[in-house]
Amino acid sequence: MVRVAVLVSGGGTNLQALIDAQNRGEIVGGEISAVIASKPGVFALERAAKANIPAFVIARKDFANSREMTLAYVSKLKELNIDLVVLAGFMTILTEELVQAYPNAVMNVHPALIPSFCGKGYYGLHVHEKALEYGVKLSGATCHFVNEECDGGPIIMQKAVEVKPDDTPETLQLRIMEQAEWKILPKSVSLFCEGRLSVKDRTVFIKE
Ligand code: GAR
C-alpha cells in the first residue's frame, strides 16, 4: 500500500474528494494515512477526524523561516513512512528540501490550466479573479508533480472548464472544483498508487 499524506490549509474540499474516492474504492493501491495542516482550527482537520485519519498541525508561525518549517514537514512525513505527499489547497510555500526528500512524489492541484494563471501570488480565489480579468473563455485545473519552481513541475492531468459571462471568482472557483479538481486529483493519486506514472524530462507518461 502506498501511504499518502494530504497537506491542507483551509476548507479541505479536495481532501474530502480524496476521502470520498477512497470510500468508493477508487484509490487503488493506496491509503490516506495522514493529514497535515499549516494552520490550527481549519475545517479540513474536522474532515480528517470524521474519516478517522490521523491529523497533525505544523504551523508556519512556529518556525523562524520556511526552510525550518519544511524540515519539520519532511521529518514528520518520514516518521509516518509516507510515500506520496499531496498538496490539496496547501497555501504555504515549502522549500526545496521537500522535493529533494520526495522526488516526483509530491503532487499539487492548481485551479487553472498551467502555464496560465500560476506561479507566485496565484492561489485560491486570486487565480479566478485573474482569469476573469483576462477574459478567458476556458479555465480549469491541473494536477502536477512539484519541483523547485512554483507550479512548474511535470503535469499529470488537466481538465478544462467553461467560463460563463456572469461568473464571479466564487462561481468560477466552485465550477472548477466540481468539474475538474475533485475528479483529477483523486484520479492522479490513484494512478500514482497503482504505479502507472513515469516522468521523462517534463512529460508524465501514464501506463495503460
Ligand atoms: C482549491 O481551489 C485549490 O486548487 C487551491 O485552493 C483551493 C483550496 O480548496 N489551491 C491553490 O490555489 C494552491 N496554489 P480546498 O481547501 O477546499 O481544497
Atom of ligand 1 nearest to the CA of 8: 16
Q: How confident is the model at residue 94 (pLDDT cuts 50, 70, 90)?
A: very high
Grid cell for residue 95? 522549500
178 vs 181: CA distance, rounded Å: 7
Q: CATH number, domain at 130?
A: 3.40.50.170
The total number of structural domains that make up the chain = 1
**Residue 14, helix vs strand vs coil:** helix
Amino acid at 161: V
Q: Which of 94, 127, 156 to mutate to test the pocket of ligand 1 (most atoms within 8 A of CB)?
A: 127
Indicate the angle between helix axes 13-23 and 182-193, nearest 10 degrees. 50
Domain that holds residue 162: 2-206
Q: 203 pairs with which residues across the strands?
A: 155, 200
Amino acid at 15: L
Q: What is the pLDDT of residue 181?
A: 98
What are 116-146's pLDDT values in tens digits? 999 999 999 999 999 999 999 999 999 999 9
What are 150-172's pLDDT values in tens digits? 999 999 999 999 999 999 999 99
Q: Whose CA is nearest to atom 10 of ligand 1?
A: 89
**SS3 labels along 4-41:** EEEEECCCCHHHHHHHHHHHCCCCCCEEEEEEEECCCC
Say which residues have a Cβ less than 8 Å from residue 17's Cβ, sequence separation at least 6.
Answer: 181, 182, 183, 185, 186
Q: What is the pLDDT of residue 122?
A: 97
Grid cell for residue 10? 483551509
**SS3 labels along 157-172:** EEEEEECCCCCCHHHH
Atom of ligand 1 nearest to the CA of 176: 2
Q: In terms of pTM, does the model score above 0.75?
A: yes
Q: Which of 14, 123, 173 to mutate to test the pocket of ligand 1 (most atoms within 8 A of CB)?
A: 14
Q: Whose CA is nearest to atom 3 of ligand 1?
A: 89
